[in-house]
Structure 1
């Protein structure tokens, strides 16, 4: 049976673009793996502590870090909801990364996570795509791609719903059609990528 590790980090439990898209991904995954396992962590509702000296010293021997590293190692695939906050990832997601990355244990050239597919739903209120005025402010995809491949040699893929603030910001009203198109594409991508990934797990 395939195991999916699902992490959400959006602050609001309702009305979150990243949560809506990760939910669509999980639904499609479950349809393909009705007997599979989905391990879920809501990092906003139950935030992890920041890394401290004791946890660094203990490494994988720290009870929490051991739990997190074993959870990650047991996953056949990982799904991460990572909305952009202040041009970067939520601090709760950074706390998870700091706790779960243990150099010499699961990070490095021979990482046991190598090749694990990680799908990141990187939602954002505006657009930071190549060629846009704020392209240089994009530190979600850039950071997560580097840390997940650099530390774990994971296989990273992104789903990017953009312009999520168009409906709530009067100055962005003209962008509502583009926002709706981006949302629809993200939901479609989530279902298709989940099914394709599930197919790989079954092969």
Structure 2
């Protein structure tokens, strides 16, 4: 058994998305103590901004005429896709930054999707957990409802485009206790944190058992 884990926080030492992913991984490892965990930290080591361009343009050039940059880009894209395809389950820890999909996350997705195997459905049905955190709260009824343009996109491309069996753990209000203006939400934030942590544990058990979880 093998697990692929992606981390996208630019502040790994204080990452709340990483903390949730750790709970998922712990359940996976408890069920599969001898499994391989392949890690890619794009928050600390983002892909080059030119990588996707070089992968795409290489497709319009005969193999013998590709530039060194294009050849290298195709090799990296294959490696990235292999990490996903060869894993039995996926774990992605992706925080919300500035209300949208961070550039380094989008680059990783685009490069992976450039591999034709993924575009053709190689990840269909693969168990996956996304842990994501938001500094504020953008849920229905809040003043900034709809400002989270990251989670819906990730749900669409990972669950519908790639076809993974995706489970999502979301924890809002991570800036409570950091930003004094949000102190009034301390009790609510504590309840949300506890609920997200419990859900991460349950979803870790779910992907370890390779079973679907119905979310009401």
TM-score by length of 1: 0.91
**1:136-163: CA deviations, max 9, x gaps?**
2121221011112342112221101110
Give the greater-gyration-radius structure (CA).
2
Q: Is the 8 A contact 2:139 2:146 kept in 1?
A: no
- TM superposition shift of 1:52: 4.2
- Cα RMSD, aligned residues only: 1.8
SS in structure 2 of the partner of residue 45 of structure 1: coil
Q: Is the 8 A contact 1:9 1:82 kept in 2?
A: yes
- TM superposition shift of 1:76: 1.3
Instruction: Identify which of 160, 164, 168 aligns with 2:174.
Output: 164
Could you say which residue in structure 2 is the equivalent of 1:122? 132
Could you say which residue in structure 1 is the equivalent of 2:63? none
Could you say which residue in structure 2 is the equivalent of 1:153? 163
Instruction: Identify which of 185, 192, 196 aligns with 2:202.
Output: 192
- TM superposition shift of 1:169: 1.0
SS in structure 1 of the partner of residue 26 of structure 2: helix
**1:80-114: CA deviations, max 9, x gaps?**
1111101013222111101100264321xx41111
- TM superposition shift of 1:66: 0.5
- TM superposition shift of 1:131: 2.3
The number of aligned residues is 198
Q: Is the 8 A contact 2:9 2:44 kept in 1?
A: no
Distance across 2 between alignment mates of 1:99 and 1:165: 31
Could you say which residue in structure 1 is the equivalent of 2:66? none
**1:126-185: CA deviations, max 9, x gaps?**
111122222221212210111123421122211011100010111110111111111111
Q: Is the 8 A contact 1:118 1:154 kept in 2?
A: yes
Could you say which residue in structure 1 is the equivalent of 2:77? 65
Instruction: Identify which of 130, 134, 137 aligns with 2:147.
Output: 137
Distance across 2 between alignment mates of 1:67 and 1:19: 23
- TM superposition shift of 1:71: 1.0
Could you say which residue in structure 1 is the equivalent of 2:90? 78
Could you say which residue in structure 2 is the equivalent of 1:178? 188
- Decide which moves more: 45-54 or 88-97: 45-54
Q: Is the 8 A contact 2:167 2:203 kept in 1?
A: no
Distance across 2 between alignment mates of 1:25 and 1:52: 30
SS in structure 1 of the partner of residue 6 of structure 2: strand
